[in-house]
Amino acid sequence: MTCCSSEDVSDDRLRDADVEHSVDRFKALANPVRLRMVEMIYSGGGEICVCEFTEHFDLSQPTISHHLKVLRDAGLIRSRRDGQFVYHRVVPNAFTGLSDLMDRFSTVRDAVSA
């Protein structure tokens, strides 16, 4: 008697590259400061200046820059310079991909409930 068979594994499994990409994004969002930064961008009309972060967080400018770099490296935000100011905006497709992944796991399969 075997505990499982290869027939139980779905052919629509996530690709390794997709898993790694999602892990990087979830890790970036797992930090409370970075999650709040993303929320500020969304609630701030879709794009905000880096100076607005310094007004809302009791953190040094280099620490804020580090958090923004982590979010950029994870592909969650984009930054653009306008003169001496740097503006940040969310990458919508990044969050759509994370949402799709969470939807995938929230769907109950008939085989599981049987």
* CATH code of residue 38: 1.10.10.10
Are the beta carbons of 25 and 72 closer than 8 angstroms? no
> Is there a domain that residue 12 lies in?
no
Q: How many domains does the chain have?
A: 1
For residue 111, what pLDDT band results from cuts at 50, 70 and 90?
very low
> Is there a domain that residue 72 lies in?
yes
For the cut 90, the answer to whether the pLDDT of residue 79 exceeds it is yes
Q: Percentage of the chain surpassing pLDDT 70?
A: 83
Q: Percentage of the chain surpassing pLDDT 90?
A: 46
Question: Domain limits at 66?
Answer: 29-104
For the cut 90, the answer to whether the pLDDT of residue 4 exceeds it is no
Average pLDDT over residues 35-59: 90
> Is there a domain that residue 93 lies in?
yes
Q: Cα dist. 41→3, 9, 90, 92, 95 in Å?
A: 48, 39, 7, 12, 13
> Is there a domain that residue 47 lies in?
yes
> Is there a domain that residue 14 lies in?
no
Task: Report the predicted TM-score, pTM, of the whole model to 2 decimal places.
Answer: 0.77
